């Protein structure tokens, strides 16, 4: 079955006809060529695919594109202000919060949602928030540091 969907992605309106079983992540990666959102597992745990739907972080591998019909979607590609990195992106770079970069978009999208609900998270709160984001490279040490630094920069911005 084909369904017609439209949504706003990173501020642009998008419409398409897709197979009903199309996952939002595949719609973004294949149809929209927004390959910054990654797929690292098939059990909704790794968080490499985290994006924002209507301002909340969700796993785009566990939502149908059809479910996002009419939604406002933000992916990692929509975070920076043109050539200027978002303070959270800058904080990840400044604090070496990434190595291979594969989990990074999901980490940053998850971190931004955390800051929406908690502008000044403690180390423990950051670690608990990252329950749904796996990283195999960094040991999390510098990711936690990055998120706290990013939060600080956002508070001061």
Max alpha carbon distance in the chain (Å)?
49
Comparing C-alpha atoms, which of 124, 115, 116, 125 is closest to residue 151?
Answer: 115
Q: Kindly state the smallest distance separating residue 106's Cβ from another protein, in Å.
A: 9
Nearer to another protein, 42 or 156 (CB): 42
Nearer to another protein, 47 or 73 (CB): 47
74 forms beta bridges with 52
**Smallest distance from another protein to CB 154, Å:** 15
CA nearest 90: which of 103, 77, 108? 108
The distance of closest approach from Cβ of residue 32 to another protein in the complex, given in angstroms and rounded to an integer, is 12
Q: Which is nearer to another protein, 14 or 102 (CB)?
A: 102
Query: CA-based Rg of the chain, rounded to a whole angstrom?
Result: 15
């Amino acid at each position: 079955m084909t369904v017609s969907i439209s949504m706003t992605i990173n501020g642009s309106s998008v419409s398409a006809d897709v197979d009903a079983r199309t996952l939002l992540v595949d719609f973004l990666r294949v149809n929209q060529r927004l390959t910054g959102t990654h797929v690292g597992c098939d059990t909704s745990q790794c968080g490499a695919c985290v994006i924002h739907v209507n301002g909340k972080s969700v796993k785009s591998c566990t939502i149908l594109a059809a479910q996002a019909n009419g939604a406002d979607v933000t992916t990692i590609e929509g975070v920076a202000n043109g050539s200027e990195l978002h303070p959270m992106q800058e904080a990840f770079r400044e604090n070496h919060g990434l190595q291979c970069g594969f989990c990074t978009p999901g980490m940053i999208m998850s971190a931004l949602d955390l800051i929406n609900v908690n502008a000044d998270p403690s180390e423990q709160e950051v670690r608990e928030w990252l329950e749904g984001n796996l990283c195999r490279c960094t040991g999390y040490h510098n990711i936690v540091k990055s998120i706290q630094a990013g939060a600080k920069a956002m508070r001061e911005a």
